[in-house]
Structure 1
């Protein structure tokens, strides 16, 4: 966090889901002495944390004890309770952005209860802006059409490897004045190294996607650009995209990524990558 601050990063994204509240507590601790008007925080609603049995570790991939567990709740009361508890963990009286978190299977409740609750909190000045964060673009597009969101966080669907959010969601957001934050620009790890590997969508990489990532890396290399450098810069080319969210787990990764982000990228690379994407579609 110190390295991120020193590098000029001022937007931090968290959620109760991440580490069963540990992410929010750590973020709040790290920012406690920073001037409140110099940074922005987004957190999320949709999963309440309730007591767990504490006999093991979290079953959703976080290395924390299961003293808490998640319960889906997009009700009005659930939204207000979730935000109140998040503020407590963060040690704050307000947050800048609150997102509906993965309402994929909860459309009716999210639209009829959670969204109106967030809109009310926005009107009251408790939160600065409201939106939704998902790993798909289709429901985000429906939310943009049917509600008055300020922001969508689109995870993994507008990247060098997966441009599926480009044709419908991004133009719709521009038309409606909704800002887009591009998340998972490395597709959960596959594009995080110049020699592609790791994971894709938090699981094993399908062979055909690994080969496509390697092909993209070869194109980048011809222009003197690394794959992660291009992956971070790619979404920001679109006028609907206001920012990117990048997961970084050490001070070294922060410094490395920010160094790459500061390097120029020739326009010719984007033309070649656009041509490659067109030929692969």
Structure 2
């Protein structure tokens, strides 16, 4: 995996519409910037993200990039929703999501994803958001993906969630290669340090850090009251903490997103950092911030004010920690 990956929920029209041309240009900008890891899911735009990503990568050498998608939500016809729009994605609700972590559901989901992507194999498949489905996800979904890994259809098996505790349990109790931890190891919160990161290091399971900007509150140098946190309006106390961190960033001449990327990348369990984008400009900005050196003294100030966990590893030099 490249140190930075492109998350493609926005290519599925997350919150608002993105054109086919903008989606392709975003993938092209990522490729030109050195990104070789691309993440998608059937959930993103009811399959639109997968279709757009597959089309954008179709002319690229298949062995030169890593692509991940997810299982757990089947897309089934929904004629009763004709004419309606999906709630989270600006797409027609002509199909609906149906939770399914069974072996048959996983095999069907992989087959349908391959068709939408236009591929004959997948590099990584994550079990997606099994928060309320531990029993079936651990006993059927993961073993089904392990079968596909043994057959060469899938190269690596993972679990992706917006929590760290159950991910740690998957690491300890199942045969997975990766976890995607979204939003739980960031500049604002380092809860994954308690169980997930130690378990991942012990078992040799790679951690892909996603949601590193916490849904947007860390994506700009000075977040406003209209920012989002955990896919919802930012709570006042979270906004206040982000503002305090931004104050220290400004003292050292760096901005909040650059510091957010640097902290996450510094942990030895993290193998890649996935950043979402819907335009070439956002890709270029993320890559530039990833290359921004952060003064060591800044981390000491954040620790002193208890704005980051004292146990969180941080870069010990000012050399940029993302090279592509």
The offset of 1:256, in angstroms, is 1.2
- Distance, in Å, in 2 between the alignment partners of 1:176 and 1:278 is 29
Does residue 36 in structure 1 map to residue 70 in structure 2?
no
- Distance, in Å, in 1 between the alignment partners of 2:59 and 2:50 is 15
Does residue 8 in structure 1 map to residue 34 in structure 2?
yes
- Distance, in Å, in 2 between the alignment partners of 1:250 and 1:30 is 14
Aligned residue among 103, 106, 127 for 2:154: 127
Matches within 5 A, 1:26-105: 26-53=52-79, 54-59=82-87, 61-105=88-132
Conservation of the 8 A alpha-carbon contact between 2:190 and 2:308: no
- Distance, in Å, in 2 between the alignment partners of 1:219 and 1:67 is 48
SS at match of 1:98: strand
TM-score norm. by structure 1 comes to: 0.97
> Structure with the greater relative contact order (CA < 8 A, sep ≥ 6): 1 or 2?
2
Tell me what 2:273 maps to.
Answer: 244
SS at match of 1:20: coil
Matches within 5 A, 1:172-183: 172-183=199-210
Conservation of the 8 A alpha-carbon contact between 2:182 and 2:211: yes
The offset of 1:223, in angstroms, is 1.4
- Distance, in Å, in 2 between the alignment partners of 1:71 and 1:11 is 27
Write out per-residue CA displacement over residues 198-249 of structure 1, whole angstroms, 9 at most, x where no aligned residue.
1000101110000000001111111111001111121110000011010111
- Distance, in Å, in 2 between the alignment partners of 1:273 and 1:143 is 32
Conservation of the 8 A alpha-carbon contact between 2:164 and 2:191: yes
- Distance, in Å, in 1 between the alignment partners of 2:289 and 2:164 is 28
Q: How many residues align?
A: 280
Tell me what 1:219 maps to.
Answer: 248
The offset of 1:278, in angstroms, is 5.8
The offset of 1:55, in angstroms, is 2.0
Conservation of the 8 A alpha-carbon contact between 2:190 and 2:309: no
Does residue 261 in structure 1 map to residue 290 in structure 2?
yes
Conservation of the 8 A alpha-carbon contact between 2:302 and 2:308: no
Structure 1 gaps of 5+ residues are none
Conservation of the 8 A alpha-carbon contact between 2:126 and 2:159: yes
Does residue 201 in structure 1 map to residue 230 in structure 2?
yes
Write out per-residue CA displacement over residues 127-159 of structure 1, whole angstroms, 9 at most, x where no aligned residue.
000010000001101111111110000000000
Decide which moves more: 204-213 or 49-58: 49-58
Structure 2 gaps of 5+ residues are 1-26, 311-324
- Distance, in Å, in 2 between the alignment partners of 1:9 and 1:272 is 32
Tell me what 2:260 maps to.
Answer: 231
- Distance, in Å, in 2 between the alignment partners of 1:209 and 1:280 is 15
Let me know the Cα RMSD of the aligned residues.
Answer: 1.3
- Distance, in Å, in 2 between the alignment partners of 1:248 and 1:207 is 26
SS at match of 1:154: strand
Aligned residue among 173, 185, 197 for 1:158: 185
Conservation of the 8 A alpha-carbon contact between 2:245 and 2:307: no
Decide which moves more: 186-195 or 254-263: 254-263
